[in-house]
Amino acid sequence: MSQPLTSMLVESQALYLDPAIRDWVLIPIMVVMVLVGIFRDQVTVLIGSTSGKKAGIKAIKETKALTRGVTLRNYGNNIPSSSFLIRKNYLCSSYKKGDFLKNPASANQVVNPMTDPAGMEMMMEGMKKNFAMIIPQTVIMGWINFFFSGFVLSVETPDMDVTWVSSLSWYFLNLFGLRSIFTLLLGEDNAADGMRDMAAMSQMGAASPGQPQDFNKLFLAESENLELTPHNWELDDIEVRLLVKYGKRELVDNKDIIEMEDISSNDLSDVKGKSKKKRT
């Protein structure tokens, strides 16, 4: 029983590969995949540019107002306390009142994307893109499987050495490996990469793409974040930092955190000032 099996194994190991397979299978698959990637990228540019619609001034105002809150949170330490407080109060109250909303009247009702024309547009956009991505993907995979199934592979023979590369596995190697090649060829934000659609497809169930965001909710969340943001002015301990920088004072490390009130009440006492410096 074992005799024919071993002979078969030896035979399959000695499988001779025609050089023509290299010229007509290995290289064509790679070339086709590169070209399809470039084509896909160009199609995305085409679709994107035809529907390049400008957002209304109110919509821009909405997003910018949100950005403003984030900026204040991130860089607030660079302005004095009073300035920070004024901005914070203004933004928080405006967020809560909905001053920045595109449509203040509809602040509390949920927007149905099916009835909102802008939302509809966006959904169509997403669908178009998805189709442009998925169709070539499946077509190529089917094509490779169909045309080249007879060549290197025939993995149906179970005793074949696993080191043989089938054309389908070569396809998958290409699928993953060409990603960075496309980055080199087409720049960072290309749409040629096939794996991205897979990620997009798996996301589709969770949150439908193109659904308009509920800015009222975002504003409320942002105002909450702002209210929780502490303010430590960068220049509170500037004298000490300068003195230390020019070697007039040593730094002592015993405390890491200093309350703001300490500094404003009694001007920088030695220990505090030095300890603050330590946090370089």
Partner 1 sequence: MASQSPQNQASLYVHENVVHNAKTITFIRSSMSAITGSAAGILGLTGYSGFIFYALTAFFTSFLIWSVKTNTNPGIYFRNGSDVWTEGVFGGLFSYVLFWTLLYGIVHVYD
- Binding residues for partner 1, rule: CB under 8 A, are 17-19, 21-22, 26, 30, 73-78, 165, 170, 173-174, 176-181, 183-184, 188, 232, 234, 241, 245, 276, 279-280
Closest distance of CB 80 from partner 1, Å: 15
Question: Whole-number minimum distance, CB 23 to partner 1, in Å?
Answer: 9
CB nearer to partner 1: pick between 76 and 136: 76
Residue (128 or 179) nearer to partner 1, CB: 179
- Name the minimum Å distance from CB 113 to partner 1: 31
Distance CA 95, CA 62 (A): 10
Nearer to partner 1, 83 or 211 (CB): 83
Give least dist CB 58 to partner 1, A: 27
Give the residue with the Cβ less far from partner 1, 64 or 217: 64
User: Minimum distance from CB of 101 to partner 1 (Å)?
Assistant: 27
* CA pair distance 109, 269, nearest whole angstrom: 55
Which residue's CB is nearer to partner 1, number 57 or number 184?
184
